[in-house]
């Protein structure tokens, strides 16, 4: 598989994601003042498989930088059935760049294929190009509009949540007040559609876990939550920092977390984390949501995802 660093890949294709979505399928969720999801208790049913580890296989206009022509191609519509066949898991987390289209017809086909496979979408990982804390009002509005677009997509494919990336703003440091003002508007729109908005500790500059927590606490909206990623913060910090970060993030997590015990950084350097400790922190904070097993290393993602599933079983008591 072609090695494409995650952040480089997301930055390269983010520009195309700012385009508005076509008219989507009418919403199927009703507005709610509080999210009220019911989560499974069985270990296997709490696991999800994201499309990110399989980027080398997925054929989509915005995935051309990560597509490996030596591997068999797959449209995202076929991903759910593959996950059931390969891993006996019935929850998925698609990445926005892996959708061939956001046209209503394609989203209907995607949703039908997911339902036929007996699978649920538990989250969409979306990476808006524009920054929620940009000093220019018009740029922040673009970030808000793009966030709303992916909430509409979530409604169309019956996803209970979206993860929105906090993009960098040139020559501007991350700003809690501006980010909170923007994300409050997105969370309010999410509440209208009954779709949660999650923030991940992905980019260690723009998405520092404690910055995210400050934003969430300032917004103080029931539809804005944290998405703790077990290993991302290890790329620039140590285990002690990560333990504190996971504790702070899981206090604000609701339905989705990213499980991995290692990640490949720049120049192929491998960073590892104590995954068992992360699971323990999640449990201590009463987290009941899903763990998406996000293999992000060199090598075969099929073997990697299977490894993470088995590791998750050990920690979830399966």
Q: What is the mean pLDDT of residues 181-190?
A: 98
Would you list the domain boundaries of the chain? Answer: 6-316
Which among 10, 82, 21, 72 has a CA at the least distance from the CA of 51? 82
- DSSP annotation of 130 reads S
Residue the block writes with tokens 């260690």 = 204
Cα separation, 67 vs 216, whole angstroms? 35
Cα separation, 47 vs 82, whole angstroms? 15
The pLDDT score that the predictor gives to residue 48 is 98
The pLDDT score that the predictor gives to residue 32 is 62
Would the pTM count as exceeding 0.75? Answer: yes
Q: Note the pLDDT tens digit of each residue in 147-161.
A: 999 999 999 999 999
Residue 267 has pLDDT above 90, yes or no: no
* Class of the CATH-defined domain 6-316: alpha beta
SS (H, E, C) 120-150: EECCEEECCCCCCCCCCHHHHHHHHHHHHHH
Residue 9 has pLDDT above 70, yes or no: no
Residue 44 has pLDDT above 70, yes or no: yes
- DSSP annotation of 109 reads H
CB atoms near residue 47 (< 10 Å): 26
Query: Which of 30-34, 77-81, 126-130 has the largest mean confidence?
Result: 77-81
Residue 13 has pLDDT above 70, yes or no: no
Q: What is the mean pLDDT of residues 85-92?
A: 98
Cα separation, 12 vs 7, whole angstroms? 8
């Amino acid at each position: 598989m072609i090695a494409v660093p995650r952040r480089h890949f997301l930055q390269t294709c983010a520009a195309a994601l700012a385009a508005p979505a076509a008219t989507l399928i009418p919403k199927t969720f009703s507005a709610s003042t509080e999210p009220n999801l019911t989560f499974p208790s069985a270990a296997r049913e709490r696991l999800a498989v994201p499309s990110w580890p399989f980027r080398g296989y997925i054929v989509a206009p915005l995935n051309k930088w990560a597509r490996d022509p030596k591997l068999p191609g797959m449209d995202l519509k076929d991903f759910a059935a593959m996950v059931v066949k390969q891993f006996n898991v019935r929850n998925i987390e698609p990445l926005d760049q892996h959708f061939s289209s956001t046209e209503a017809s394609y989203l209907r086909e995607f949703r039908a294929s997911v339902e036929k496979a007996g699978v649920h979408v538990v989250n969409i990982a979306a990476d808006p190009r524009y920054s929620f804390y940009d000093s220019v009002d018009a740029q922040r509005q673009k970030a808000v509009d793009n966030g709303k677009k992916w909430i509409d997509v979530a409604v169309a494919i019956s996803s209970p949540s979206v993860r929105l990336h906090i993009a960098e703003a040139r020559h501007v440091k991350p700003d809690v007040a501006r980010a909170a003002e923007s994300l409050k508007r997105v969370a309010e729109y999410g509440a209208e559609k009954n779709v949660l908005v999650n923030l991940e500790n992905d980019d260690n500059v723009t998405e520092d876990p404690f910055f995210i927590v400050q934003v969430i606490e300032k917004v103080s909206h029931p539809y804005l939550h944290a998405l703790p990623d077990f290993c991302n913060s290890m790329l620039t910090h140590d285990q002690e920092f990560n333990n504190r970060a996971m504790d702070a993030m899981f206090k604000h997590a609701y339905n989705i977390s990213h499980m991995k015990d290692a990640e490949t950084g720049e120049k192929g350097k491998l960073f590892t984390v104590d995954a068992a400790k992360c699971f323990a922190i999640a449990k201590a904070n009463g987290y009941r949501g899903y763990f998406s097993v996000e293999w992000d290393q060199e090598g075969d993602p099929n073997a990697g995802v299977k490894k993470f599933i088995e590791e998750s079983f050990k920690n979830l008591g399966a």
